[in-house]
Chains A and B, each alone.
Chain A
């Protein structure tokens, strides 16, 4: 499924189908976000679980005389584009290749220069007239789906943050068998990658009492040191820092420890997720961030460990179950 920021309705139907049996209410918002609600009992407070359904991509910014497409993107490192297969979302979906000059014709000097986005183009195998019938400036481009199992790990495009959406759907399935006192809102946010439009406007509409953003975070790999990242296979990360709520975090960590769920700590100032924006909407609400470690973010070959995903689902479901009156009082008691 493809959903460049602004086109998230492509994914709505799929999510709706999956979550329908487990939610009491489902709705899409005009901004492109959608949400599902499961009422709790007594259901006086609500938590919003937020994951974004837009993915990184590019936009067609021009069409050359020969029928090649020029592209623009604020999200992708252009260095990963040469040699990729991408999908152009015109009147219909067509495939294209981002190719470059052959090795044999490139000077030694040029071999060392990284490509900038304005120097790249997409070849769809069509001439100008043919392509203009299908594609126009402003059409979006996403990576071609490239799911593969690498040993025990899983790789694909857009795990950021479809994996978060998957977690929410699975949590809803578990909620059917769990007693929970709070209402649970599953928010599938639009445009997180660009302007946090979904997070900001949906929080205004839904007015949750507190929220947890479920996103992905950098996992270590060669050139990404362990000091600055988490590790695959060691469980979800809990974000710790000045812009998340202390009491909420303690409860998440206590839950993990109580049930023996391995987790990691990610320390930072602002989390780079929807949570940063959700926290300051209107009067403000307590927020937390739980993330799934992921390698090679914003490339077609993002990698996660399915075990980490499973543990994240467990952690969040149990957390919701553990929420009781005394926790809610501690959360709001200070004010």
Chain B
């Protein structure tokens, strides 16, 4: 599959909200030959500019570099780390998982009490809340733990990217390293208009990086490329599956934070139909994306959100399907290629 090395590098990189440097470095290396300027800002956003000599409406391509994770809040006398969640995570995916801690990249585990030791029914059937869980980095005592994992250290899931069978891939942070990979790939092409690529930070803790990035380099229209919820699994009712693996790029009409631009979306769908690219809609109003903040920059920006369907986002292991990724990339390429000055008015 095209880009597979880039996706692998991005997925394996450490980039919990607040410290996206490693991801930014990989992207910088990847795109430096394709763009005219690369900039950063106070929030750590990575911004690339291309086609500056072209006139016409400016198009922004956006994906966020950060992933959900944990942050070390206290260390007990024996060297066990307590933590808070960075971004929205279901406590129930945390027990018994491997993690990577802090700038020293120490390996650790979120310990879980052995079932043999759990009192009947009560304990076995109750969820364990994350504020009583601890991370074990094998430290002998508090001082040793503090040396390797000082207070405030960020913690990421320790999951290696791998192929799961013919066309399925598993790994962490597909939300939104897949989006980053797609935007980086699109930068290899030249379009008829100036392009601003905004690889944003702190999306998972409040869509924050996008606010300052879009303020400094304000586009006329923007597309946010995401890795979105696919809940097409057993025990989920048909109308609550949100999106399905294998059915192509997911186009958002409405989520918790915005309604996407109707005319632009019609044009996107027209492109999909014309080019025979499968597509689907995000069918549950859940989650929020950077596009909702970019939308409100200054006098307003017209926005779209398009995503690769991903199962199990915000957990240690996510899953995506090769064709969905490729079709998302293809749809965006064809759409951008066909954009003309008159896009405001008509569908084609």
Q: Which residues of A contact B (CB under 8 A)?
A: 227-228, 240-243, 245-246, 265, 267-270, 279-280, 282-286, 334-335
Bound together, the chains give a CA A284 to CA B200 distance in angstroms of: 13
B41 at the interface (CB under 8 A from A): yes
Bound together, the chains give a CA A245 to CA B43 distance in angstroms of: 8
B348 at the interface (CB under 8 A from A): no
B26 to chain A, nearest CB (A): 16
Report whether B42 and A269 are in contact in the complex, using a CB–CB cutoff of 8 Å: no
- Selecting from B55-63, B178-186, B208-216, B271-279, the interface stretch reads B208-216
Report whether A242 and B18 are in contact in the complex, using a CB–CB cutoff of 8 Å: yes
Q: Which residues of B contact A (CB under 8 A)?
A: 16-19, 39-44, 71-74, 82, 84, 86, 151-152, 154, 202, 205-206, 208, 211-212, 215-216
The closest CB in chain A to the CB of B216 belongs to A283
Report whether A335 and B40 are in contact in the complex, using a CB–CB cutoff of 8 Å: yes
The answer, among B19, B43, B71, B72, for a CB contact under 8 Å with A269, is B71
Report whether B17 and A284 are in contact in the complex, using a CB–CB cutoff of 8 Å: no
A235 to chain B, nearest CB (A): 14
Q: Which residues of B contact A243 (CB under 8 A)?
A: 18, 202, 205, 208
Bound together, the chains give a CA A245 to CA B18 distance in angstroms of: 9
The closest CB in chain A to the CB of B71 belongs to A267
Q: Which residues of A contact B73 (CB under 8 A)?
A: 227-228, 267-268
Given A267-B152, A335-B39, 9 new contacts (CB under 8 A) = A265-B151, A265-B152, A280-B208, A282-B215, A283-B216, A284-B41, A284-B43, A286-B42, A334-B44
Q: Which residues of A contact B86 (CB under 8 A)?
A: 242, 269
Q: Which residues of A contact B71 (CB under 8 A)?
A: 241-242, 267-269
Bound together, the chains give a CA A283 to CA B198 distance in angstroms of: 13
Main secondary structure of the interface of A (DSSP, over half): loop
Bound together, the chains give a CA A122 to CA B86 distance in angstroms of: 42
The answer, among B18, B43, B151, for a CB contact under 8 Å with A280, is B43
Report whether A267 and B84 are in contact in the complex, using a CB–CB cutoff of 8 Å: yes
Report whether A242 and B19 are in contact in the complex, using a CB–CB cutoff of 8 Å: yes
B153 to chain A, nearest CB (A): 9
Report whether B19 and A246 are in contact in the complex, using a CB–CB cutoff of 8 Å: yes
Bound together, the chains give a CA A245 to CA B95 distance in angstroms of: 31
Report whether A240 and B39 are in contact in the complex, using a CB–CB cutoff of 8 Å: no
Report whether A270 and B42 are in contact in the complex, using a CB–CB cutoff of 8 Å: no
Q: Which residues of A contact B216 (CB under 8 A)?
A: 282-284
Bound together, the chains give a CA A116 to CA B208 distance in angstroms of: 35
The answer, among A240, A265, A268, A285, for a CB contact under 8 Å with B42, is A285
Main secondary structure of the interface of B (DSSP, over half): mixed
Q: Which residues of B contact A227 (CB under 8 A)?
A: 73-74, 82
Q: Which residues of B contact A282 (CB under 8 A)?
A: 212, 215-216
The 9 closest A-B pairs by CB, nearest first: A242-B18, A284-B212, A240-B152, A335-B40, A284-B42, A283-B216, A265-B151, A267-B73, A242-B17
Bound together, the chains give a CA A269 to CA B71 distance in angstroms of: 8
Bound together, the chains give a CA A240 to CA B73 distance in angstroms of: 9
Bound together, the chains give a CA A334 to CA B215 distance in angstroms of: 19
Report whether B211 and A280 are in contact in the complex, using a CB–CB cutoff of 8 Å: yes
The closest CB in chain B to the CB of A284 belongs to B212
Bound together, the chains give a CA A269 to CA B155 distance in angstroms of: 13
B138 to chain A, nearest CB (A): 21
Q: Which residues of B contact A335 (CB under 8 A)?
A: 39-42
Report whether B151 and A269 are in contact in the complex, using a CB–CB cutoff of 8 Å: no
Q: Which residues of B contact A285 (CB under 8 A)?
A: 42
Report whether B84 and A268 are in contact in the complex, using a CB–CB cutoff of 8 Å: yes
Q: Which residues of A contact B211 (CB under 8 A)?
A: 280, 284
Bound together, the chains give a CA A265 to CA B75 distance in angstroms of: 12
Report whether B208 and A283 are in contact in the complex, using a CB–CB cutoff of 8 Å: no
Bound together, the chains give a CA A282 to CA B42 distance in angstroms of: 11
A288 to chain B, nearest CB (A): 12
Residue contacts A-B, CB under 8 angstroms, 24 given:
A240-B152, A241-B18, A242-B17, A242-B86, A242-B154, A243-B202, A245-B42, A246-B19, A269-B17, A269-B71, A269-B84, A269-B86, A269-B205, A270-B206, A282-B212, A282-B215, A282-B216, A283-B41, A284-B212, A284-B215, A285-B42, A335-B39, A335-B40, A335-B42
Bound together, the chains give a CA A128 to CA B220 distance in angstroms of: 58
The closest CB in chain B to the CB of A209 belongs to B42
Q: Which residues of A contact B17 (CB under 8 A)?
A: 242, 269
A16 to chain B, nearest CB (A): 31
B220 to chain A, nearest CB (A): 19
Bound together, the chains give a CA A283 to CA B210 distance in angstroms of: 10
* With known contacts A227-B73, A282-B215, A334–B40 Cβ distance under 8 A: yes
Q: Which residues of A contact B206 (CB under 8 A)?
A: 270
Q: Which residues of A contact B215 (CB under 8 A)?
A: 282-284
Report whether B151 and A279 are in contact in the complex, using a CB–CB cutoff of 8 Å: no
B265 to chain A, nearest CB (A): 28
Bound together, the chains give a CA A295 to CA B112 distance in angstroms of: 34
The closest CB in chain B to the CB of A265 belongs to B151
Bound together, the chains give a CA A333 to CA B112 distance in angstroms of: 43
B45 to chain A, nearest CB (A): 8
The closest CB in chain B to the CB of A238 belongs to B152
Report whether A280 and B212 are in contact in the complex, using a CB–CB cutoff of 8 Å: yes
Q: Which residues of B contact A246 (CB under 8 A)?
A: 19
The answer, among A228, A242, A267, for a CB contact under 8 Å with B202, is A242
The closest CB in chain B to the CB of A331 belongs to B42
Bound together, the chains give a CA A289 to CA B285 distance in angstroms of: 35
Q: Which residues of B contact A279 (CB under 8 A)?
A: 42-43, 208, 212
A307 to chain B, nearest CB (A): 22
Bound together, the chains give a CA A228 to CA B82 distance in angstroms of: 10
Report whether A283 and B19 are in contact in the complex, using a CB–CB cutoff of 8 Å: no
Bound together, the chains give a CA A241 to CA B73 distance in angstroms of: 10
The closest CB in chain B to the CB of A283 belongs to B216
Q: Which residues of A contact B16 (CB under 8 A)?
A: 242
Bound together, the chains give a CA A282 to CA B215 distance in angstroms of: 6
Bound together, the chains give a CA A279 to CA B43 distance in angstroms of: 8
Interface centre among A241, A242, A279, A285 (most CB of B within 10 A): A242
A285 to chain B, nearest CB (A): 5
Report whether A241 and B43 are in contact in the complex, using a CB–CB cutoff of 8 Å: no
A237 to chain B, nearest CB (A): 11
Q: Which residues of A contact B74 (CB under 8 A)?
A: 227, 267
Q: Which residues of B contact A280 (CB under 8 A)?
A: 43, 208, 211-212
